[in-house]
Structures are given as structure tokens and as C-alpha cells.
Structure 1
Amino acid sequence: MIIGCALFMELLDSTAVLTALPQLAADFGEPSVRMNLVVTLYLLAVAMFIPLSGWLAERLGPRRVFIASILLFVFSSLACAASSALWQLALARFFQGMAGALMVPVGQVILLRWSSKRDLLRAMAYLTMPALLGPVFGPPLGGMLVTWLSWHWIFLVNLPIGLLGIYLVLRHVPNYPGQASQTLDLRGFLLGSPALACLVLAFETLGHGSLNRTWSCLLLAIGVLFAGLYVRHARRTTAPLLDLSLLRIATFGLVLNGGFLFRLGAAALPFLLVLLFQVGYGLSALEAGLMTFAGGAGALLIKFISVPLARRFGFRRLLVYNTLLASLSMAACALLSADTSPLLVMLMLFAGGLSRSLQMTAMGALTYADIPAERSSSAATLSATSVQISMSLAVCVAAMLLGLIQLLGGHTQPSAGDIQLTLLAMSLICLASVLVFRRLEGD
């Protein structure tokens, strides 16, 4: 729960800040379009420093790196709140992204070393709970803080959470030793980090239209080029920064690939739902954010029965059939209209939250089921990289599909029908992960 709460703090902050962008633009006297720097530099730092997380955990010890990342997140949050100009805030957000990039994979490394295989599913259930709740609570909390207090409190709320987290880590988390002999794959870092940074920024800017499409496509091309060079390098070196040989471990490779497809479809749901509620229902941004609480409640409830379900049905059957349920619940959101009862909407979101949360928990545990302890850092780094790319690509794909459907319909603004068709298309992408999960062993 300590590690999960650190993850919750990071995800809460990254989603809450989106609601404050208009007020930040007004306070700094900047055009609204320039406020994308606050989001872009954060994502850039996350993409750049995720590959380093596993090496740092092995070199310095995971607890030391975890505490340092929380401290960096707390101090950069304070710097964000103290900012009086856009360049100051953007720089502070870059350091926040750096801290977040280290916090998540290193927390998983601690968990993998501490948990036995028997307890791994239960541990992952607690870890993924904050990961699912952070994006749910972030937008409404950000809206309330900005409306009732000021944008500074979006960052200041991290201080007590972070300091309490450091105290609890020092008190309860074991201090696993580092390995001084661990050498850095510098060439891999110089190839892998630019590849990830360019790919994530390309997907983000294509999705939100915050950059000219020519520049976004150029970023995408550079990212693909560096990624290709990194794959070539990783095959020739004995200790690569992102160890792609882990994909040969059947459970790890299949769950990573299936999970990528699942998140590619499912991660676009919050973006599309808020858009549907605002366009189709005419709700405010805060009201639309509050409607998504039902999904968070479902995500929380399923954690208490996920372990018995996995033991009863087995991972393969659970992942296959639950993917069908998650895809259906996502497709059902396309049937919503302005006349739909709010109670029915909340029940549908609750059911969807149940299935998506169960899927994340099962994937999280099975990902590391056959990973040797000495390779846990490399596995956590590669998994976090896959998650980061799939989450960024999800909104990009959804936004591009929505734009295409809108263009074919001849609409200048997206209609409720356009968003509903996009929801159906993304649910089919989510459903495609069944083809991967079916290849898991029956036992």
C-alpha cells in the first residue's frame, strides 16, 4: 500500500493539473496553447528516464532510489507551486516527470523482491488499486481545488503525502542492497531515451493536436529510427538497458503484448467518456469528471475478490473472458445518450471499472510470474516502458479515429454520434488482446 500510494500521488498530480491549465494561462498571461509545455515536458522526462530506473535500482538499491524519487517529486511539486512564470513551471514539471519515471518501476522492483509467487497476485491487487483510482480522482479533485482555492494546491497537496510516504518507506520497506559492479549501458541510454521521448511526444501531439502534424510526424520518424537502432544494439550487447530478451519468457512476452493491446483500447476510455458527457450531456468539465467516480468504485471493489477469482478460474481463462467483458462494457458506453438515466450510466461505469481493474491486476501478477529475482529490475523497466507507450498511443489513436469519423460525417465539431463510433472502434482494439491471451498455457 505504501508503494501504491506513491504511484497514486504521481498519477493524481499528472491528471489533476490538466484542469488547471486555463487558470495557469490566465495567471501567467500566456496563450492557452503554450500551456501544453506543462504537460509535454512532464511526458518528455518520464519517457527519457524510465530506461534508467532498473539500472539505478540495481546499482544503488531500490529503497534508496525510491526515497530519492519521492523527495524529488515533493521538491519539484513545491517548485511548481512557487512558480511565477511559465518557464519556471515547465522546468519544475520536467523534474516531476523525472521523479515519476523512477518512482513507478522501482516501486515494482521492491514489491517483486518482497513478495513470494504465492502472494504476488494479492500484492499486485493493492498496487494497481491506486494506479486505477489516481486518474479517476485527479480531474474532479483538480477542478475542486482550482474552483475553491487556487491552482497552487494541486501541487501543494503532494507535500504531506510525499513526506508521510518517505517516513513509512524508512519504517517498513526492506533495504535491499545495490550492486556496485552494475555498469551502465550508456550507448543503449543514448539510443533508447531519445526513441521513447520522440515516440511519446509524437503520439501525444498527434492525439491532442498541440503541434503541427508535420513536426509530429517528424518526431515519430526519428523515434522509429532510434528505436530500430536500439533493437540492433540490444541484440549485440550482454547487459542492455532495456532487455528485450525477456520477451522470450512465455508469460512475460504474451502478457506484455496482450496488455499493450488491451491498454491501447481501454486507456482511451476516460478521454472519450469525458468528451461524450460534455458534448452529449452538456455537462461541465467538473460534472463530467465526477460521473467517472462509479468506475473508480468498481475498480476498488474487485480488488477484494481478485485472488479467489484467479484461483478458481486460472489466469488464461480469466484474462480471455474478462477481456470480452471489458470490451463489451466499453462498447456499451457507445449506447449512452443525453436521455440515459444517470443511475444507469453509473451502473455501466461501475461494471466497466470492475472488469478493467480485474484485468490490470491479473496482468500485473502474471507479467512477473516466471521472472527470476535477479532480472526483476530489467523486467519492471521494460514493463513500465510498454505501459507508457501504450497509454500515450491510446489517446493518439482515439483522437485520430475521432477526427477521421468527424471528417467523414462532415462535422466541424465532434458530435455525440462521432464519439460513440470511436468508442466502438476502441473496444474492438481492446477485444483483439483475446487473440494473444488465448496463447497462454491452460494451467
Structure 2
Amino acid sequence: MNATPTHQALQPEFRLLVLLVSIGFFMQGLDTTIINTALPAIARSLNEDPLRMHSVVVAYVLSVAACIPLSGWLADRFGVRNTYFTAIIVFVLGSLGCAIAQDLNTLLMFRVLQGIGGALLLPVGRLAMLKIIPRTQFLSAMSLMSLAGLIGPLIGPTLGGWMVEYLSWQWVFLINLPIGLLGGLITFKAMPNVTEPNVARFDYSGFVLLVVAMVGLCLGIENFANPLYPLWWSLTLVAVGLLTSLIYAYHSHTHSNALFRSKLFKNKIYAIGILGNFFARLGGNSIPFLLPLMLQVAFGFEPFITGLLMIPTVLGSLASKPIIRKIIQRFGYRQVLLVNTLLVGMCIASFALTTADTPIWLRAMHFFAFGILNSLQFVSMNTLTLKDLSQQDASSGNSFLSMIMMLSMSIGVALAGTLVNMFSAYFGPEQLNNAFHLSLICLGCINIIAAYIFWHIPKNTPV
């Protein structure tokens, strides 16, 4: 008797659904990176200091982090098609609003709207595939979809730089309109509106606590070096964020319907993975924001050239994918994460050795090496975190990890912006190089400290 194959090729009737989810994944991946090379041009257009434009990145990423816990419940309650279609419309409207914004506050408001739509695109799309596509074909579907997620970040910085230089910065947002409208049209043909018959009551109080905690921590760190706000205001925001986090920890322990139950953290490997993800991503996730800013503002590079220079980072990430599993199997999670966390930290700090005169070939090799190390770090951390979760905790644990990843990115970018502003205020505007260099050294040191967390991984942890 022949055994049924575990994995099968994707059947034609599911290809349109995978294309649809890939469109959402592509838009989200593109929007996370395309903005980085455009920030100095947006700052000039809105008469803002380019060193204070990190709030444009933070507003989007933070709203994505805050709304991730909503995605699964909305899809179960209102159906995957209705939720996904709404997410696309919200994302497109947010993009249009960003393009027509005439001041920074309006831009930030529409970036938040964009983030709310973006927060639902990937989780709901992945959930729709899980519910509709047979498990035997799911791996093939996920492999095809992941290509779209790689293409977005690959072309994002270069496309953003080209648009800024040869069109206008508004096109960084307007490009989402035709892609989003195409996705909206396909939604009704490709995605049935699957709902769940019994949906638990949503944990509104827990959701509010999480949002307050994330916003407090992010805005507190972001405003530390802002002369418009006194120091006590930033410290109060951070304190509120920390206090609300503690209240949520108690809530997750006592509330039977909490978004993320405290029992998740009884799994030691998961707890180490979450803590490691949060701290090790602070430096790594801030680099795609900080390097294009340094290249343009401090070194005087053109936006398009800046975008091209960011490609080796993504190519390094792609090049590392086939070897990551072999490296982990050979050395184990503990040794890989201990050594690689130190290497990533040193690589981030070593960007402080570069100047405007650094040869292009050397800069490209430097970025390529960072891409390899960063990809190895992220994949190792993610697989370690999720590998021992039970089937019943898998969905909740994955959602919490996704939220922590986006929260770490928003805090990392806020921290990078704050460090640059603090050091530029100290050195003066004529020594911006020093401000960026010291910021990179600080971020590298923070990454190195994260190695202490991975020290606690048991030595006999199986791969």
C-alpha cells in the first residue's frame, strides 16, 4: 500500500488565493522598507528636520504591532474575506492620505491608518490559506507566498530612492493604490468568507492594556531628545508603559479569555526566545532606517544611489537561507545564537568605521555580511521560540511573537532616532558623522548585551 505524500504541489484552484495573499504580503513588505530612502526628501518637502523623521516609521510599525492581536478574532468573527478586503481598503486609504499630507502630523495620522490595514494583511491572509488550502498543499502555498515577502524588501529601498529622485516622494505611497485595487478585486473571486461558528468574547481590556503599554514605551523613548517635550513627560510615558505591561502580565494570569495567557511563558524555551527576539532586534531592525539616513544626511549620497546600496543587505539575507538550517543542526541553537548575536552587534558597531569616502565595493561587502548575519539571527531566534509550543498554544504564541517583533522594530527605530538627535545636539550639526557613528556603536553594544539572554538556553536543547 502506497503512503500518502506529506507535501503535494499546489493545485490550480488555489493559485489565485495564494496570489491574493502574496499581494498583501508584498505591499506590507514594500511599505516597511520603501519609506527609509525617502525620509530626507519628505522632511524637506514638509519643512521638518530629517533627523526627527523616525516618527514616520515608528507610527506605521507601532500601529501594526498594536493591531496584530485583533487579526485572528476579526477573521473568525466577520470572516476571512470581509476582514482581508477591509484591510486592503484601509491600507489603500491610508496610503492615499499619506501622499496628499501637507504636514507631519497629518502624515503620521495616515501612517497609523496604513499600519492598521497592514497589521491585518499578513496574519489574515495566512489564516485564510490555512483554513482553505488542504494541509498537504500548505507548504507549497507558503513557499510561493514567501517569495512576495522577499521581493518587497529587496526592491523597496531602491524603488523608493528612484521615485524620490525622478518622480516625487508622494509616489512612495501612491504605488500602493493600483496594487491594492487589484488585490481588492481578486478578493471576491479567490477568497471564500470562512467564519467560525463559536467565537469567544474579545479581550477588550487586555487589548487596551497592550496598546497603552506599547504606545507609552515607544513614545517615551522617541521623545527623549525632542526639545518640544520636557524630560519628565518622556519618563512618565515610559513609566506608564512599564506599569501597564505589569498590569497586563497579571491580567494574562487571571483572565481566562486573555489574548495571550501567561501559561505560554511556562515554556522556558519560548520565554527565552521572546526576550531574545525583543532585545536582539532593537539594533538589527533599526539599521534599515539608520543607514539610508546616514548615507544621505551625513555623507551626501543621492536617494537612488542610497537605495541601490541597500540591495546587498537583502541579497545577503537571501544567500544565507539555504545554509541556516545546516548551521543550526551542526552547532545547535545555543552556540549559534551566542556567537551570532555577538557578531551582529560587532557588525552594527563597525558601520561607525565607514565614512563618505569608503569605497563602494567595501561598503557593499559590509552590507552583504550584515544581511547574512542578521538573517541567521532572525531565523534562529524565530525557530527556537516556536519549536516547542503545543498545538493548542501555536496560534497564540505565533501572534505574540509577531507582535513582539514589530514592537521591537518600532522601539529600535525610536531609540536610533533619539540617539542620533542626542549626539547631534552634543556635537553640533557640523559633526553629524560623529552623531551617527556613536549611535551605531550604542546599538551594537545593546545587541551584544542580548547574548546574555541566549546564554540561558539549555546546552542540550534539541534542534
Q: TM-score range by the shorter chain?
A: 0.7 to 0.9
1:16–1:138 Cα contact (<8 Å) kept: yes
* Residue pairs, 1:303-382, within 5 angstroms: 303-382=321-400
Question: RMSD of the alignment, in Å?
Answer: 4.1
Percent identity over the alignment is 34
Match of 2:436 among 411, 419, 422: 419
Post-superposition Cα deviations, 1:280-335, rounded to whole Å, max 9, x if no partner, equal 63323443333222111111222233344444444333333332332332233222
Gaps of 5+ in 2: 1-17
Paired with 1:278 and 1:20, the residues of 2 have a C-alpha distance of 10
Partner amino acid, structure 2, of 1:342: I
Paired with 1:427 and 1:35, the residues of 2 have a C-alpha distance of 22
Match of 2:112 among 85, 91, 94: 94
State whether structure 2 residue 71 is matched by structure 1 residue 49: no
1:136–1:289 Cα contact (<8 Å) kept: no
Partner amino acid, structure 2, of 1:186: Y
Match of 1:385 in 2: 403
Partner amino acid, structure 2, of 1:267: N
Match of 1:264 among 274, 279, 282: 282
CA shift in 2, pair 1:146/1:303, >3 Å = same
Instruction: Give how far 1:123 is off.
Output: 5.5
CA shift in 2, pair 1:294/1:170, >3 Å = farther
Paired with 2:422 and 2:107, the residues of 1 have a C-alpha distance of 35
Match of 1:293 in 2: 311
Post-superposition Cα deviations, 1:217-259, rounded to whole Å, max 9, x if no partner, equal 3332332333232222222101212334312223322111111
Instruction: Give how far 1:62 is off.
Output: 5.1
CA shift in 2, pair 1:125/1:326, >3 Å = farther
CA shift in 2, pair 1:305/1:23, >3 Å = closer
* Residue pairs, 1:63-102, within 5 angstroms: 65-81=83-99, 91-102=109-120
CA shift in 2, pair 1:79/1:274, >3 Å = closer
* Residue pairs, 1:228-267, within 5 angstroms: 228-267=246-285
Paired with 2:443 and 2:134, the residues of 1 have a C-alpha distance of 35
CA shift in 2, pair 1:368/1:175, >3 Å = farther
CA shift in 2, pair 1:174/1:85, >3 Å = same
- TM-score by length of structure 1 reads 0.81
- TM-score by length of structure 2 reads 0.78
Match of 1:442 in 2: 461
1:402–1:414 Cα contact (<8 Å) kept: no
Match of 1:220 in 2: 238
Paired with 1:253 and 1:367, the residues of 2 have a C-alpha distance of 8
CA shift in 2, pair 1:360/1:370, >3 Å = same
Match of 1:394 in 2: 412
Moved more, 358-367 or 210-219: 210-219
Partner amino acid, structure 1, of 2:350: A
1:58–1:182 Cα contact (<8 Å) kept: no
Instruction: Give how far 1:353 is off.
Output: 0.4
Paired with 1:358 and 1:424, the residues of 2 have a C-alpha distance of 21
Paired with 1:81 and 1:435, the residues of 2 have a C-alpha distance of 43
State whether structure 2 residue 163 is matched by structure 1 residue 145: yes
1:298–1:350 Cα contact (<8 Å) kept: yes
Instruction: Give how far 1:400 is off.
Output: 4.2
Moved more, 427-436 or 413-422: 413-422
Gaps of 5+ in 1: none
Post-superposition Cα deviations, 1:386-415, rounded to whole Å, max 9, x if no partner, equal 12221122233334444555667x545544
Partner amino acid, structure 2, of 1:32: E
Paired with 1:373 and 1:199, the residues of 2 have a C-alpha distance of 32
Q: How many residues align?
A: 439
Post-superposition Cα deviations, 1:162-193, rounded to whole Å, max 9, x if no partner, equal 34556777787897653523111122123222
